Amino acid sequence: MLCVDDDAASRTLLLRILEQRFARVLAAKDGAEGLDLFRRHGPAFVITDIQMPVMDGIAMARAIKAEAPATHIIITTSFGDAELILSAVDVGIVDYVVKPVSAERLDASLDKCLRIATLERRLRLEKVRTESILESIGDAFFALDKDWRFTYVNHRAEDHFRMRRTELLGRGFQEVWKGPQDTQQAFEEAMRSQEKRSVEQFSESLGIWHEVSIFPLDGGISVYLRDVTERKRHEDEIRFLAFYDPLTELPNRTLLKERLASAITRCKRSGQRGAVLFLDLDRFKNINDSLGHEVGDLILKEVAQRLRTTLRDSDTVARLGGDEFIILLEEFSHPENIHSITHRLLFSLAQEIALQGYSLHITCSIGISFFPTDGETVEDLLKASDTAMYFSKSKGRNTYQFYSADMNSKTLRYLEMENALRKSIQNQDFLLHFQPQVDLRTRAVIGFEALVRWRHPELGLVPPDEFIPLAEETGLILLLGDWVLESACRQARAWLDRHTTPLHVAVNLSSRQFWQGDLVDSIASGLTRSGLPAQHLELEITESMVMREADVAIGKMRELADMGVRLSIDDFGTGYSSLAALRQFPIHTLKIDKSFVREVTTNANDAAIAASIVALAHTMNLLVVAEGIEGEEQAAFLLGKGCEIGQGYLFGKPMPSHEAEVMLCGPQS
Ligand SMILES: Nc1nc2c(ncn2[C@@H]2O[C@@H]3COP(=O)(O)O[C@H]4[C@@H](O)[C@H](n5cnc6c(=O)[nH]c(N)nc65)O[C@@H]4COP(=O)(O)O[C@H]3[C@H]2O)c(=O)[nH]1
């Protein structure tokens, strides 16, 4: 504490009071001496008279405040020195005490002074703390006064503006701000309304997302710029996972549904049409199972890429999951263009995929529905194109089908049949009918063709044309085929045991049985289990079945022929024939298809075809069976052309085994 007074008595009085409260009290007799003591000792409190020689109290106070603004100064003055008091207040004194100074009044003033000092110290501490926080935070922070001038800038803000604090303080905000328009607007609103605002902005130049929080501050504003790039990236990732398939990066089901819904609305408004293509890869499961999921995934990615590049950017290609993709085509004015688009897709996918040393060929089946004609809701349209895709598969794959309303009932029937067929295979609800094959010259029965029938719980006996394709499609044919083969062999064995006729039994093989099952093994075990010698079994295969990969087929056929099994080509003439391949087939018999036999006596073409098949067979040392003979003229004609064996209603319809056995006992046999 420094006490300055030119009057010795007053000084002594003051010192006495002050020394009771302060540990150390310095005394000076005028302003100059006081200032000198102040400079040397730097006391926190000063009490001074105003009117003094050499330097008055106000001049001294001004000098002290200029050097140490935090110093607390009290003046003592005579009553009525109002002007002096006012100028002292301007200098920044804390209080004044009227002379003669009483102990109570001085105590009260000192209390006030100490309270203010404590408060100021606290404020200073608070300020330091706040500043250290503002400096240590990772966010840029700055404050602007009501005239848009910088009043505070932390070091992050320096980085942000790429300017030093000293350059920024006092400078106008508009001179340095280069942010986007809507952030600028938020600043103006906060300044005007003195209410909090916050916006998110992306800074192109820094590649950073900022959350900008603006608070009102003393007529101006304070601003935090928080770097939220990481959070944004995370949000983007979450959004990506919610709307995109991570493997192919195509839109997923959720996003597809959103886009389809808005496409439907747009098309309704514009009166144009859109299309939903449901695309399913053919036999993808086989690839996945045999080559592994890793290769499967690579294929899916490649497929996604091909679909994308085949279509326009504005078209949506989505992955529903598994090997199912959806393509959404919008507002095309010529719906017939869909043909060329679909062909392009099929072509693009059919190109070889070379992966990890494998050369793969992928095909797909596509179902197409149009909106709004085939449905006006997302669900209806997806269902319609799914149904059409299903039909496309049943048409033999690598093709496309347009949805039609009657497909729904067909699909339902198909699904019901599949379930029933599955159950029937477990329960063995099948039986064999046998159709005799006769020597055309003697009419003696020389064998039977075994034809399967399904004993359907509700529909009764179902003919094979109605369920063999389904059994093929679902793979159930492998189980069914084994059952047919073994049952036919057992029946033939039983007839051989009871009759002397040297007969054979002919069994139809389906394409899937031929190519997929362990054909040779299952035939061998069927023969062993039934005890039928191989030469009594004839296997009927079709040309189209074996022409696909003739070389491999010939290998399989040779193995069968080597076992002693007879092979015949069924439906000969109806498919694509390669005489060169036919020559190499180790076959025994050609069967003239019933479509040529039907009008063989009335249609010159059919007659010529039948005659040339017989001639061809003979040059190749093959037997010929004509099937579908219903009348004597047909039989006579074919016999006349040299055909040895006949099959058809004329000689007997397919019949249960006990009826067939009766024929073996008949006069001709
Ligand atoms: N209009 C007429 N038709 C006659 C005449 N004679 C025989 N048919 C019919 O012609 C079909 C001959 O069998 P497919 O050509 O091998 O044709 C068979 C065969 O491809 C297939 N199939 C039958 N059983 C089996 C089997 O066990 N396995 C396999 N994979 N396919 C079978 O189903 C097809 C149809 O068999 P089904 O309905 O039994 O029909 C039989 C038979 O009933 C005739 O004089 N006139």
Q: What is the pLDDT of residues 431-471, one digit of tens each?
A: 999 999 999 999 999 999 999 999 988 888 888 988 898 88
Tell me, yes or no, whether 131 lies in a domain: no
Q: Is residue 223 in contact with ligand 1, taking CB distance under 6 Å?
A: no
Tell me, yes or no, whether 459 lies in a domain: no
The reported pLDDT for the residue numbered 80 is 66
CATH of the domain at 15: 3.40.50.2300
CA–CA gap between residue 246 and residue 284 (Å, rounded): 19
CA distances from 664 to 435, 446, 500, 567 (A): 12, 9, 9, 23
CA–CA gap between residue 533 and residue 225 (Å, rounded): 91
DSSP string, 214-267: EEEETTEEEEEEEE-HHHHHHHHHHHHHHHB-TTT--B-HHHHHHHHHHHHHHH
Whether residue 143 is found in the same domain as residue 118: no
Q: Is residue 482 in contact with ligand 1, taking CB distance under 6 Å?
A: no
CA–CA gap between residue 471 and residue 92 (Å, rounded): 104
User: How far away, in angstroms, is 451 Cα from ligand 1 center?
Assistant: 6
Coarse DSSP helix, strand, coil percentages of the chain, rounded to the nearest 5 percent: 50, 25, 25
Q: Cis check for the bond before 667: say yes or no (omega within 30 of 0).
A: no
Tell me, yes or no, whether 253 lies in a domain: yes
- Quick one: which H or E segment has residue 199? strand 197-203
Whether residue 183 is found in the same domain as residue 260: no
The reported pLDDT for the residue numbered 666 is 64
CA–CA gap between residue 493 and residue 534 (Å, rounded): 11
CA–CA gap between residue 302 and residue 313 (Å, rounded): 17
Angle of helix 57-67 relative to helix 82-91, nearest 10 degrees, comes to 10
Q: Cis check for the bond before 464: say yes or no (omega within 30 of 0).
A: no
- Answer whether 567's CB lies under 8 Å from 505's CB: no
Q: What's at 550, amino acid-wise?
A: A
The reported pLDDT for the residue numbered 575 is 62
CA distances from 496 to 490, 531, 655 (A): 10, 11, 18
User: How far away, in angstroms, is 645 Cα from ligand 1 center?
Assistant: 16
Tell me, yes or no, whether 469 lies in a domain: no
Can you list the residues of the chain whose pLDDT is less than 50?
668-669
CA angle 152, 158, 162 (to 5 degrees): 140
- Answer whether 190's CB lies under 8 Å from 216's CB: yes
Tell me which of 425, 451, 542 to substitute to probe ligand 1's pocket, judged by most ligand atoms within 8 Å of the beta carbon: 451
Tell me, yes or no, whether 332 lies in a domain: yes
Residue nearest to atom 31 of ligand 1 (CA): 508
Domain boundary among 101, 124, 147: 124
Ranges assigned E (strand) in 383-508:
400-402, 430-439, 445-456, 460-462, 504-508
Whether residue 555 is found in the same domain as residue 654: yes
Q: Is residue 517 in contact with ligand 1, taking CB distance under 6 Å?
A: no
- Give residue for tokens 């959720």: 254
Whether residue 652 is found in the same domain as residue 515: yes
Residue nearest to atom 1 of ligand 1 (CA): 628
Q: Which atom of ligand 1 is nearest to the CA of 571?
A: 15
The reported pLDDT for the residue numbered 41 is 95
CA distances from 575 to 229, 432, 549 (A): 66, 27, 15
- Answer whether 190's CB lies under 8 Å from 218's CB: no
The two three-digit tokens of residue 67, written as one number: 């050097």
CA–CA gap between residue 589 and residue 506 (Å, rounded): 11
The two three-digit tokens of residue 481, written as one number: 């085929």
Tell me, yes or no, whether 160 lies in a domain: yes
Tell me, yes or no, whether 422 lies in a domain: no
The reported pLDDT for the residue numbered 669 is 46
Q: What number of CA atoms fall less than 13 Å from residue 564's CA on the CB side?
A: 10
- Quick one: which H or E segment has residue 173? helix 173-176
Whether residue 343 is found in the same domain as residue 297: yes
Whether residue 106 is found in the same domain as residue 153: no
Residue nearest to atom 43 of ligand 1 (CA): 654
Q: Is residue 646 in contact with ligand 1, taking CB distance under 6 Å?
A: no
Is the ipTM higher than 0.90? The answer is yes
Domain boundary among 91, 124, 157: 124
Ranges assigned E (strand) in 134-186:
140-144, 150-153
Residue 579: CB partners within 8 Å, gap ≥ 6?
616
Domain boundary among 80, 99, 124: 124
CATH of the domain at 647: 3.20.20.450
Provide the terminal-to-terminal Cα distance of the chain, rounded to the nearest Å.
Answer: 145
Residue nearest to atom 13 of ligand 1 (CA): 451
Farthest CA pair distance, the chain: 166
Whether residue 317 is found in the same domain as residue 175: no
CATH of the domain at 176: 3.30.450.20
Q: Is residue 555 in contact with ligand 1, taking CB distance under 6 Å?
A: no
Whether residue 394 is found in the same domain as residue 444: no
Residue 588 DSSP code? -
Residue 172 DSSP code? B
Whether residue 268 is found in the same domain as residue 385: yes
Q: Is residue 568 in contact with ligand 1, taking CB distance under 6 Å?
A: no
- Give residue for tokens 């040529």: 596
- Answer whether 275's CB lies under 8 Å from 368's CB: yes
Tell me which of 468, 480, 570 to substitute to probe ligand 1's pocket, judged by most ligand atoms within 8 Å of the beta carbon: 468
CA–CA gap between residue 101 and residue 14 (Å, rounded): 8
Closest CA relative to residue 198, chosen from 158, 151, 150, 189: 189
CA–CA gap between residue 194 and residue 217 (Å, rounded): 8
Q: What's at 11, amino acid-wise?
A: R
CA distances from 667 to 132, 501, 664 (A): 119, 12, 8
Q: Is residue 464 in contact with ligand 1, taking CB distance under 6 Å?
A: yes
User: How far away, in angstroms, is 203 Cα from ligand 1 center?
Assistant: 76
User: How far away, in angstroms, is 89 Cα from ligand 1 center?
Assistant: 121
Whether residue 505 is found in the same domain as residue 653: yes
CATH of the domain at 271: 3.30.70.270
Whether residue 327 is found in the same domain as residue 253: yes
Range of the domain at 102: 2-124
- Quick one: which H or E segment has residue 318? strand 316-321
Q: How many domains does the chain have?
A: 4
578 three-class SS: coil
CA distances from 522 to 384, 450, 479, 506 (A): 41, 17, 11, 16
- Answer whether 245's CB lies under 8 Å from 319's CB: yes
Tell me, yes or no, whether 238 lies in a domain: no
Whether residue 266 is found in the same domain as residue 202: no
Sign of CA dihedral 17, 20, 26, 32: negative
